[in-house]
Structures are given as C-alpha cells and as structure tokens.
Amino acid sequence: MYKKGILLDRDGVIIENREDYVKNTSEVKILPGVREAITSLWMENYIVCIITNQSGVSKGLYSEKDVKDIHRFIEKELCHEISGPIFWYYCPHQDKDKCTCRKPNSGLLEKAISDHNFCSENTWMVGDNIRDIEAGRKAQCQTCLVLTGLGKSFNKPKMSLVPHKVCHDLYEFVEQILTEEEESL
C-alpha cells in the first residue's frame, strides 16, 4: 500500500510570489485558503511535500539559512489545532547550472516520491507555472495548475503541456480531489 502524497510548489501556491524573491520571513504572505487546504490534506492522511526552486541562493540574494528560516516560519503559520509534517525540498541553483533538481527537471519530485513511498501515478504536483507541470509529468504525477501567482496568466491554447486539472487556487484543488476520493469509495 502506498502513502498518499501531494507535492506543492511554494511561491504562488502556498505564499505570494514576489518578482524580487521572498528573501526573509517578513516578506512571507500566506495565500488565502492555504491553511484550510493543508489542514484538510492532513485530516485525510496525506503527506505534504513542498518542492521549490530557490535560485536566489546561487544569485547571492539570500542564504540557504534564510530559506530554512522561511520554511520554518511557513510551517509555524500553517500548523494549528490539526497539523502534520511538511517535508521541504528546494533547489538553490539557476537554469545555467543545469542541475537535475531544478524544475522543470524532476529530480526533487522523484526524491520526494522515493523518500515517502508514494505511487507517482496517484501523486499530485500542484504549481502555478508550466515548469511545475512539466516536472510533474516527467515524474509521472498527476498535475494541477492553480491560477494564483504566475498561474494568473494561464492561457490554455498557448500551453504546450496541459495540466490534468486547472483550479482557481490550492483550496479549490484540495476540495476537488477529496470529493473525488470520497465518491470513488
């Protein structure tokens, strides 16, 4: 039996995306409905993994310690009465580094899938960018594009890679998959 997993992009899905990067905890703004969505996933025994590109590290805009501080801050903000663990996976590289962990490559997704014994075909990658969708497809996951963050400019006819689902935000996505799961029982 496999564990139920959800892979989420960070900026634009969990927190507001900033053109100048989220560099410290004072710049973190949790998106509406995220707390409730994550809590619903935990209540249904999903394991939540955040998969995020953080090229600002290699660009010298912030440090890996800053990234870890931001992740601890986000986790603290999301964990209330009902909580579970959040597993963090981040790539500090730029495209020019040609690493296998930076989305649209699937290295971090595959690591999360392996670390937690997920069945990739039944695991969702949720992102606000075509890079997230491409990485999810490469890892053989189901994919969802949310229309928050960079997803606000989504234009299906122009997309070369269409996601399995398109949802207004993370909350709507979670409501849909939990309803579908309940209906299939």
Instruction: Specify if 175 maps to a domain.
Output: yes
Instruction: Specify if 170 maps to a domain.
Output: yes
pLDDT of residue 15: 98
- Residue 36 belongs to a domain with what CATH number? 3.40.50.1000
pLDDT of residue 79: 85
| Residue 78 near residue 42, CB atoms below 8 Å | no
Whole-angstrom Cα distance, residue 183 to residue 108? 31
- pLDDT-above-70 percentage for the chain: 95
95 is catalytic: no
20 is catalytic: no
Instruction: Specify if 99 maps to a domain.
Output: yes
Instruction: Specify if 185 maps to a domain.
Output: no
**How sure is the predictor about 158, in pLDDT bands with cuts at 50, 70 and 90?**
low
Instruction: Specify if 145 maps to a domain.
Output: yes
User: CA Rg, the chain, in Å?
Assistant: 15
pLDDT of residue 184: 86
Encode pLDDT of 38-59 as tens digits: 999 999 999 999 999 999 999 9
* pLDDT mean across residues, the chain: 93
Instruction: Specify if 36 maps to a domain.
Output: yes
* pLDDT over 90 at 2, yes or no: no
Hey, how many other C-beta atoms are within 10 angstroms of the C-beta on 172?
17
List the structure tokens of 96: 């020019």
Report the range of poorest mean pLDDT among 71-85, 145-159, 165-179. Answer: 145-159
Domain coverage including residue 14 = 5-180
Instruction: Specify if 13 maps to a domain.
Output: yes
> Whole-prediction pTM value?
0.94
- Provide the number of structural domains found in the chain: 1
Encode pLDDT of 62-105 as tens digits: 999 999 999 999 999 998 767 889 999 999 999 999 999 999 99
Instruction: Specify if 40 maps to a domain.
Output: yes
